[in-house]
Amino acid sequence: MPPTFVIQLLQKADSYNAFILLCDCTMIFLHKWKLLAIALATNLTILLSLAVGDIKLWQEIDWLDIVGESGVCLLTILWLAFTLNSRPKGSVTTLLALGLGLIFIGSFQDLMDEVIAIPETSIWRGSIESTLMPVGLIVLTLALYHWHKEQLLFSQERRRKEQNLREYRLQDQLTGLGDARFLQQQLEQQLEHCRQQQQPLTLVLLDLDQFDTINRRFGHAEGDRLLKELTELLLLNLRRCDLLCRYAGDRFAVLLPGAGEQLATQLSSQLQDAVSHFAYKTTQGESVYHSASVGVATDTGHTPESLIDLATQRLLTAKDSRAPRAA
Amino acid sequence: MTLWYENDSPIIAAHEFPAALIDLGCSRGLEPDKLLRGTGIFMEDFLSGCLNIKPSQCYALIRNLRQQLPGADTPFLAGHRLYPGNFGPASTALTLAPNLLEALQTLETYHRCLSPLLHPRLSVDSEFVYLYWHDCCDVSDGNSFLTDMMMTAVTSVGRLLHQRPLPWDYFLHGDIRNHEQYSVNWGSRVRPQQHISAMRLPRDIATAPSISNSASAAIIAKRQCQTQYQAIPSTGFVAHIDGLIRASIPGHISLESVADSLNMSTATFKRKLQKHHTHFQQRYDTVRKELAIEWLTRQQLDIEEIAARLHFHDSRNLRRAFKRWTGVLPSALCLPI
């Protein structure tokens, strides 16, 4: 479980992204209270040092130490500025600011020691920097750890969004099923998978008989609604491992992994029965019954295209035997 | 009276052909205002039932529809919904025709209202009935939306008249991308890469009596069409020019002679062609290509004969031109279709 504040932050993910776009140069102004608190704490340490100690004489000052310690001090404040300028408000940011702030105050106190002599007996001598520094480092480490987790969650979220977008294109708008291209893709994967597992794979194409007369008699809106309801009906009659796609128009495709010719024939006649027992109600309340024809093709070393072609061919033959076509 | 309409002539009744497109969009949940954006059509005017729009507005409507309903099935859905539609007596003449051939003749004669953007041309021989589709007022930008839609509409009329799918053969210009849509809507006899847009049906099926046989209603509807559409230009400018060129072959034809027969100066003629995004040489080449394909595949004329009819110096020149028009040599299309 990620910490709750990370989740909260994630919920704000969109506003976060928008925020970055809007104000990526001026984000430091969001953190004025944090900066003010750090400045105040620094002032306090100066006052404290002055209260307990005396300013050193010029000859007592070690200039090399001053240069080294002020360098650390300046760099810390630079890190703080860079970090805060690239972060929105939030718990991870507060942790980062706290860690860097503590390190800054610790190193500043170190610098103070060089110019203010604090008596050996005072409890303040050396205690501030030696507590603030390690605590600051620990807080910073914690903050960086959460920052990393936050980034992982963000990238996961982004990946999920992209996947949705990609699959959206392979989806039929009306029924929400996969479309013919999705079927093609799945068929390729399943063919390979089932061959590896030494399992049979069967493709069933199912087509409504006389769908165009429904459209003509009741209008295309009814036809669309019928397709949607039929989708749910077919889904209810499938096994969990089966895949239903809308091939095109009133033709559906069912991919049956693990089903040989016999099982597939059985399953597809179940589908046909379900369709013929389905009393579709038009908006006027009229019941309309349908029948469906199927074409079953079991993989015997086919390419995806030839398997679809074979199923189509058998479907058309089945349709012809129901309602003979012209020669 | 002019004999043709141009892409800015307001001659398409909005409640006829465009209504099918608008209704499709609305039934799929598109906002009418968004669908009509940039077309210059307003929903209130459209609903008034007496708005006439220009072909260019109709093209804009199709562009919006394609953009907002990008599914591969959009042209087919539009085609299925087009007829009988709201075309007055023409609808009746189509759907009550005593046989399919008469329905196709109605379509050809009154295509100004039934198919204002694509010109259907009927051609009958001893075995087959051919229906060719030509650009009407704008040279298509290589998309097959209109041909897919119109061929589906005709397929749908055939199915309506005979209450069963008919064994049409389809010939398409380019490659097909959504194989499944063609397979479900048209059947398996679809041939891509034929460099023409045409469909073909055995003649005996086209002349077989249809199921909805109510002869008197069909005759009356045809009469009504005759009086209603008498005074209106019947064909698009580009199709009209193509027709003139086609009629004059194997005689000689030139930009000047066509401009002459239209009673306009060559400059005006050129400007009008440009307005329809084409030029004379392109029209001439297109017609010659279509004729060459027709002669090669239907009459199986030999190359020398075709070259002579199309005014090529010899068959080598024709081969080279053919390759330029279609990307393949005539021999690749020689097989009878």
SS (H, E, C) A29-46: HHHHHHHHHHHHHHHHHH
**Domain membership flag for residue A240:** yes
Of the candidates A216, A248, A326, the beta carbon closest to that of B180 is on A248
Is B159's Cβ below 8 Å from some Cβ in A?
yes
* Contact flag B188-A312 (C-beta cutoff 8 Å): yes
User: Do A194 and A135 belong to one domain?
Assistant: no
User: Do A261 and A194 belong to one domain?
Assistant: yes
Task: Write down the pLDDT at residue B70.
Answer: 83
Q: Determine the residue of chain A that is closest to B181 in CA distance.
A: A248
The predicted-structure confidence for A143-169, as pLDDT tens digits, reads as follows: 999 999 999 988 888 877 766 555 556
The predicted-structure confidence for A85-124, as pLDDT tens digits, reads as follows: 888 888 899 999 999 999 999 999 888 888 888 887 787 7
Give the C-alpha separation, B139 to A210, whole Å.
Answer: 37
Q: Which residues of A touch B164 (CB under 8 A)?
A: 323, 325-326
User: Do A158 and A203 belong to one domain?
Assistant: no
Helices (H), chain A: 4-11, 13-22, 32-52, 63-85, 91-115, 127-169, 180-196, 211-218, 220-236, 261-276, 304-322
**Domain membership flag for residue A269:** yes
Give the C-alpha separation, A254 to B21, whole Å.
Answer: 32
Q: Which of A9-23, A149-163, A267-281, B140-154 has the highest mean pLDDT?
A: A267-281
Give the C-alpha separation, B233 to A200, whole Å.
Answer: 63
Give the mean pLDDT of A298-327: 81
Distance from CA of B80 to the nearest CA of A (A): 9
User: Do A133 and A8 belong to one domain?
Assistant: yes
Choosing among B184, B204, B212, which should be mutated to test the A contact, i.e. which has the most A CBs within 10 A? B184
DSSP label at A53? S
Strands B198-202 and B128-135 come out as antiparallel
Strands A292-298 and B4-5 come out as unpaired
- A250 near B184, Cβ under 8 Å? yes
Give me the residue spans of the domains in chain B.
4-228, 249-333
Give the mean pLDDT of B25-30: 86
Per-residue pLDDT band for B312 (boundaries 50, 70, 90) equals: confident
Task: Write down the pLDDT at residue A49.
Answer: 86
Q: Among A168, A189, A208, which residue terminates a domain?
A: A168
- Counting the structural domains of chain A, the total is 2
* Contact flag B164-A221 (C-beta cutoff 8 Å): no
Mean pLDDT of chain B: 87
Give the mean pLDDT of B37-65: 88
Q: Which residues of B touch A218 (CB under 8 A)?
A: none
Is B77's Cβ below 8 Å from some Cβ in A?
yes
**CATH 1.10.10.60 holds for B249-333:** yes
The enclosing domain of A199 has a CATH number of 3.30.70.270
* Contact flag B80-A220 (C-beta cutoff 8 Å): yes
For residue A116, give the 3-state DSSP assignment. strand
Choosing among B127, B128, B183, which should be mutated to test the A contact, i.e. which has the most A CBs within 10 A? B183
Q: Which domain holds residue A162?
A: 4-168
Distances in Å between the alpha carbon of A102 and those of A5, A88, A92, A125? 22, 20, 15, 17
User: Do A304 and A276 belong to one domain?
Assistant: yes
Per-residue pLDDT band for A31 (boundaries 50, 70, 90) equals: confident
- The CATH H-level superfamily of B4-228 is H-NOX domain (3.90.1520.10)
* Contact flag B180-A251 (C-beta cutoff 8 Å): yes
Task: Write down the pLDDT at residue A167.
Answer: 52
CB neighbour burial string for B194-210, b if at least 16 within 10 angstroms, e if fewer: bbbbbbbbbbebbebeb
User: Do A19 and A153 belong to one domain?
Assistant: yes
Encoded tokens for A243: 């895949």
Q: Which residues of A touch B80 (CB under 8 A)?
A: 212, 215, 220
Choosing among A168, A171, A206, A220, which should be mutated to test the B contact, i.e. which has the most B CBs within 10 A? A220
Q: Determine the residue of chain B that is closest to A169 in CA distance.
A: B71
**Domain membership flag for residue A173:** no
Amino acid at A24: D
Of the candidates A249, A316, A323, the beta carbon closest to that of B73 is on A249
- For B281, counting Cβ atoms within 10 Å of its Cβ (0-12 exposed, 13-18 middle, 19+ buried), the class is exposed
**Domain membership flag for residue A327:** no
Q: What is the 3-state secondary structure (H, E, C) of chain B?
A: CCCEECCCCCCEECCCHHHHHHHHHHHCCCCHHHHCCCCCCCHHHHHHCCCEECHHHHHHHHHHHHHHCCCCCHHHHHHHHHCCCCCCHHHHHHHCCCEHHHHHHHHHHCHHHHCCCEEEEEEECCCEEEEEEEECCCCCCCCCHHHHHHHHHHHHHHHHHHCCCCCCEEECCCCCCCHHHHHHHHCCCEECCCCCCEEEEEHHHHHCECCCCCHHHHHHHHHHHHHHCCCCCCEEHHHHHHHHHHHHCCCCCCHHHHHHHCCCCHHHHHHHHHHCCCCHHHHHHHHHHHHHHHHHHHHCCCHHHHHHHCCCCCHHHHHHHHHHHHCCCHHHHCCCC
**Does A25 have pLDDT greater than 80?**
no
Q: Determine the residue of chain A that is closest to B167 in CA distance.
A: A326
Size of interface A-B (CB pairs under 8 A): 55
Distance from CA of A22 to the nearest CA of B (A): 29
